[in-house]
Amino acid sequence: MTFPTTDLLMTFSVYSFFVFYLQKWTTIFRGASLTFETFLNFFMGIATIYGLGILIYYGYKVHWTAPITLFAMSFILKGLMIWVEATLANIARINYIVQYVGIIAIVACPILGFRLYHLVV
């Protein structure tokens, strides 16, 4: 079994965290702008497909168990990040936290995706 590098694990975990919030935002989006809703759905779909593509290519390049290990380890880290974010948002009484994290994700996902590409390739 091959284990991912720390850089790859942390980058993929943060990428997954932001994609999770994009997916969550698309399910609760009730905005007046149909254009933004279309953009949000498109961006979320591309980010999800890109993450799956990175996992598939990583498995092709390294070993077929490598993406399973990466996914499992990042799933645990992503769960911890979501728990920390939810706890901090509850303590600070921040409204619309999903939207705030989603806006950050729109900027962060392309940067993290670029970093993932260079870590895997």
Q: Within the chain, where are the H helices?
A: 6-28, 34-61, 66-92, 97-120
55-62 contact pairs (CB < 8 A, 24+): 57/120, 57/121, 58/4, 58/8, 58/120, 61/120, 61/121, 62/2
User: 49-91, pLDDT tens digit by residue?
Assistant: 999 999 999 999 999 999 999 999 999 999 999 999 999 999 9
Beta carbons of 104 and 17 less than 8 angstroms apart: no
Is a pLDDT exceeding 80 seen at residue 1? no
- pLDDT of amino acid 6: 95
Report field, pTM of the whole predicted structure over 0.75: yes
Question: Between residues 92 and 107, which one has the greater pLDDT?
Answer: 107
Q: What's the pLDDT tens digit per position in 9-49?
A: 999 999 999 999 999 999 998 887 899 999 999 999 999 99
